Amino acid sequence: MVELHKSKYFQVCWEAPQELFYYVFNEQTSDMCAEEYIDELRAFIRLVKKYQPRYVLGDMVDFGFVITPDIQEWVNENLFTVYQEIGFKKIAILMSKEFVASLSIEQTMEENRSNSFQTAFFENEKMARAWLEGKVSLREVYC
């Protein structure tokens, strides 16, 4: 695993054999402003364009920022369109412990109007990786 980006709030690593980005937001995100969140996403988009991952594992367990509807739309227009362009396939998200932040994450992912990639939410990294690798189906995960 190679670290590609690290900031006060966010770290992105590249797992080349799996064509996978692993990112983690830390607990300091509860103090983050909207502009800082957008800046982090811009950095992430640059990396997505450069490395073209097929899969993403997002650790948002400690994520405390609430993604507003305007930012959700921005994500759809700026990140999800890049995912579609590069042939991105799946994202597994380890959900926030914070209820409102967790709800805003789900709403953001629902903004994916292209339906060009699959999204699933997990409490467990092992199960998330198994789903990304095609070892288990969503039916097996949720049943």
Q: What are the domain boundaries of the chain?
A: 2-142
Neighbours of 70 (CB within 10 A): 9
pTM (2 d.p.):
0.89
**Closest by Cα among 60, 59, 46, 57 to 18:** 57
Give percent of the chain above pLDDT 70.
97
**Please, what is the average pLDDT of the chain?**
92
Q: Residue 67: in which H helix or E strand, if any? A: none
Give the Cα separation of 47 and 69 in Å (integer). Answer: 24
CATH number of 2-142: 3.30.750.24
* Residue linked to tokens 């995100």: 29
Give percent of the chain above pLDDT 90.
75
Three-state DSSP at 137 gives: coil
Residue 143's pLDDT is 63
Neighbours of 51 (CB within 10 A): 16
Amino acid, single-letter form, for residue 94: L
Span 62-113, pLDDT tens digits:
999 999 999 999 999 999 899 999 999 999 999 878 877 788 888 877 776 6
Q: What is the mean pLDDT of residues 6-33?
A: 97
- pLDDT class for 116, splitting at 50, 70, 90? confident
